Structure formats: C-alpha cells, structure tokens
Amino acid sequence: MISNIDLQEVHERISSYIHRTPIMTSQYLNGISGAEIYFKCENFQRMGAFKMRGAANAVLNLSEEKRQKGVVTHSSGNFAQALSLAAKSAGVPAYIVMPSSAPEVKKEAVRGYGGEVTECPPTLEEREKAAQKIIDKTGATFIHPSNDLDVIYGQGTAALELMQDQPELDFVITPVGGGGLIAGTALAVHHASENCKTIGAEPFAVDDAYRSLQSGKIEMNETANSVADGLKTMLGDKNFPIILKYVSEIIRVKEPEIIAAMKLIWERMKIVVEPSSAVALAAVLREKEKFKGKKLGIIISGGNVDLQKLPF
C-alpha cells in the first residue's frame, strides 16, 4: 500500500507548511486511566487541526498547471480552513463550498485564510453540485476532505511524528469521522512498529465506522445527533480498505463521556480541544482494563471550539 519511506517523503514535502506539534502528558490523567498517555496536540497545528497536514500534501502534489487553476472542496469545518491556508501558503487559488447553515465565524475564518466561499443549501447533493459548477467554470481540482490518498498520507504524518518521539507505544488512538486521520495513522503505525495497534474512537450516536468494521462494507448513519460535530461524516472508498486492513478495533462512547473527557483535558492540561478530539480519551476511560499499564498515544485532532457553545 505505502512504505515508511513514502510517509517520510510526505513529511519532508509538507514540513515547512506545518508545525511539528508538541506531545503532552498529564500525571493526573495517567493516574485515573491506569495507563501512560502521550497526547499528540494537533490543536496547536496551523489553523488549529490535523487537517492542515493532508491539505498541504494534496496542494503540493499538484502539477504546476493544476496549481494555477486552483483547488476546490466542500466542507463546513476544519478542512475548509485547512485547504484555504495550505493553498494560500503555496500561492494557489482556493474555492470553498460551505453550507449556508455553517457558523458565520467559520466562513470568516475561511475568508481570512484566503479561501473564496460559495454558500449552498445544507445537503450533500447541493454541496457536490456547487463544487462541480466551480470545477466546470475554473478547471480547479477537487480535493476531498478525507477520501483522498494525498490527504490520507498527509494526515498520517501526525502519527509518524508521534512514533518517532515515542517509539515504545502499545496503542495509538484517534477519533473517527470521515476516516482520513485514522487511515493515515494506521499506515504510519503499521510501518513504524510491529507491536503497536491503531484503535478508533467514535460516538454511539454516529457509529458508522464501528458498524462498517463489523460488516466489512461502508455503513451509513441514520442520525447525526452528537456533540462531536466533526465526526458526523462517513467513510470513503479510499480510506475504508486501509481501515479494514490496519485498524484493530473501534470503541464507542456516550455523549456524557465525551463532554466529561473534554472538560478533563481543559481542567487538567489547560488546553483547548474540540468535542471530537475528546472522544479518544473518553474511549480510554471507558475501557480502562484494556489499557491498564500500557503506553498510549492519543491524537488530539483539533482545538477549534465555538466558545459560545461549550457543552459544559
């Protein structure tokens, strides 16, 4: 599928466009979990989330001709900001389709990073239609937020850094939304260590990845009612085969567990994390027996929180 050299190459390609984020620990959280936890803090990444890595790799991998025509995506959240900033850093035009229901603060952030926002009605069909219109008009290249191999490889560099700094880990745990982060993480872990396993964490309310791993095919969600708003997207045909092959399991957590974990990280580590990021710690606290005495890496996926809408 991909060799360690490839991920190392990806890392070298994007290194001047991203931050090498810190790894933090908390004696208190180690104490209550019974494990040794290393938090890879992608909330300190440029634009506040891991998605900067995948966006940068996708943009930098384009031919000169394609770069001139620009890139397009549809996203209401972090990838919209990531692609805008990555494109701006590389001198590439970025066209971002956002649902009209997206918070004004997110639209402003995208514009601040140089993205040209096109609003559309908040359905996937309308998003895709709007993106296609832009492609027809500008010749821009469509980049999917999570179901694109360049994006997946870019996201894998967070785990690559984590494994370089902490080579003795037993498990690496990430939240699962569209599948880009966990697929990239699983590749990095697989090539960096023979013994370390990749585990996903997901809300019960949107447990499509858990069910997909069970059934062997991509499942959908009937509802999308979770505080972890970044995890409501579904897996894709590029990332799912990687997840199926290299992810050992997915742990589901309840909404109060997500909120409690988010609050713990704020109180004990003094860092801002999104509800989606807290899902991984919630999984560890839910399954303490499994992780007792083990060394864990947790990827804190982002810190872009609407402070007006804190769940605690």
Residues recognised as catalytic: 51, 76
Tokens read off for 166: 């902490």
Which residue is it, tokens 């801002």? 272
Say how many C-beta atoms besides its own lie within 10 A of residue 35's C-beta: 22
Q: Are 144 and 80 in contact (CB under 8 A)?
A: no
Helix/strand/coil for 170: coil
Q: Are 14 and 161 in contact (CB under 8 A)?
A: no
- DSSP E strand boundaries for 145-260: 171-175, 197-203, 247-253
CA of 110: how far to CAs of 50, 54, 95, 228, in Å? 16, 17, 10, 21
- DSSP E strand boundaries for the chain: 23-24, 36-41, 71-74, 94-99, 116-120, 141-142, 171-175, 197-203, 247-253, 295-300
Percent helix, strand and coil across the chain, each rounded to 5? 55, 15, 30
Q: In what order do the strands lie in the sheet with 141-142?
A: 116-120, 94-99, 71-74, 141-142
Distance CA 113, CA 136 (A): 24
Q: What values do phi and psi take at 37, rounded to 5?
A: -110, 130
Say how many C-beta atoms besides its own lie within 10 A of residue 204's C-beta: 13
